[in-house]
Amino acid sequence: MIERANAVLVLEDGTTFHGKAVGKIGKASGELAFNTGMTGYQEVFTDPSYLGQLVIMTSPHIGNYGTTPSDSESENIQCAGIIVKKFSEVSSRDISDMSLQEYLIKDDKVGISDIDTRALVRYIRSKGAMNAIISSDDNVTIEDLQEELKSVPSMKGLELASQVSTKKAYVMSSSTGKSHYKVALIDFGTKTSIARCLNERDCEVKIFPMNSSLEDLLAYQPDGFVLSNGPGDPAVMTSSHELVKDIINTNIPVFGICMGHQIIALSQGLVTEKMHQGHRGLNHPVLNHKTGKGEITSQNHGFVVSRISAEDNDNVIITHSHLNDNTVAGIALKDKLVFSVQYHPESSAGPHDSRYLFDEFISNMDTHKQS
């Protein structure tokens, strides 16, 4: 057993948890967010949607199967820090090439373990999402950390997508060697698995920066557009609202995922709301109103489209609803080949119930080609 340094987690309301340091020695701050997935910690930590957040993993053992490049959703760990109950220094997976501790050190990430994550999650569930700070620095006091927390910005009103969006367009070619479709993916903080799912369906995918012009996008001559997931508050991304509105007006099929779903809604005059605690995990039940079937979905979002604003818009159909709280989980436009969902059909890690949505997008591209 490796003896690890002491660490502390301080919440903005003064609540304090003591534990042991993982990753590098130092400090990290951000909004607390808990993920209920029992597996897929590497995919979670490398998901750009977690930028600016301290991720609590509710699974009691984290790190036991190490890390491997094929499980990463981006090039680096994106969350600000990690909070876990039991942290394993031992990697027992044959394909692991690095322990989670080594991975955290490589990316200069701070974490804390050996705290009661169940108590912490229950507290957030009751009090709502809030900022916090992790510290394994012996030279700072609890009072110092509480003072530092005052300057950590709220997630509401915070634009973060520009920090993780690609700066230069690049192509991911079809894994089948065929390219029947060309898809322009607008990167608000995309997970690599989205492009992989499209590649598997004979799509060449060109990933574009979020600030690309409509002219640059159309010069690629795409058969369809995908709007990716991403971090921060979508309501403040007004230039993206206008770009997506222009994209929709081209009549080329559009598929929005998570933040992409929210930006489609905002481009059509709907509004978004900050959630009390967010949806993050691999077992969220969703009802498909068209088929009447339920889906178990992978979700990661702290904002949601207002149901009232969606119901008041004559051109918007609510296609999916979250069965736990009846929040809007999917919409479509009546007069366009445009649809979106609040969850992650690429689901890595997670269930594959929603992969059919990629097939529906392919069908929409076929319909557009034939028109």
| 258 catalytic per annotation | yes
Secondary structure (3-state) at 6: strand
Dist. CA 353–CA 357, nearest whole Å: 9
SS3 content of the chain, % helix, strand, coil (to 5): 25, 35, 40
Query: Other C-beta atoms within 10 Å of 327: how many?
Result: 19
Q: Which residues of 48-58 are buried (b: 16+ CB within 10 A; e: fewer)?
A: bbbbbbbbbbb
Of 229, 243, 237, 224, nearest to 338 by C-alpha is 224
Question: Can you spell out the DSSP letters for 9-68?
Answer: EEETTS-EEEEEEEESSSEEEEEEEEE--SS-HHHHHT-GGGBTEEEEE-SSEESTT-B-
Distances (CA, A) of 319 to 144, 261, 336, 357: 48, 12, 14, 12
Dist. CA 81–CA 108, nearest whole Å: 10
Residue of 73, 203, 258, 279 marked catalytic: 258
Single-letter amino acid code for the residue at 38: M
Dihedral sign for Cα 35, 37, 39, 44, please: negative
Cβ(133)–Cβ(31) under 8 Å?
no
What φ, ψ does residue 211 adopt, rounded to 5°?
A: -95, 20
Residue ranges of alpha helices (H) inside the chain are: 41-45, 100-106, 117-127, 142-149, 161-164, 192-199, 214-219, 238-248, 259-267, 307-311, 356-370
| 12 catalytic per annotation | no
Residue of 279, 301, 320, 344 marked catalytic: 344
| 344 catalytic per annotation | yes
Residues annotated as part of the active site: 258, 344, 346
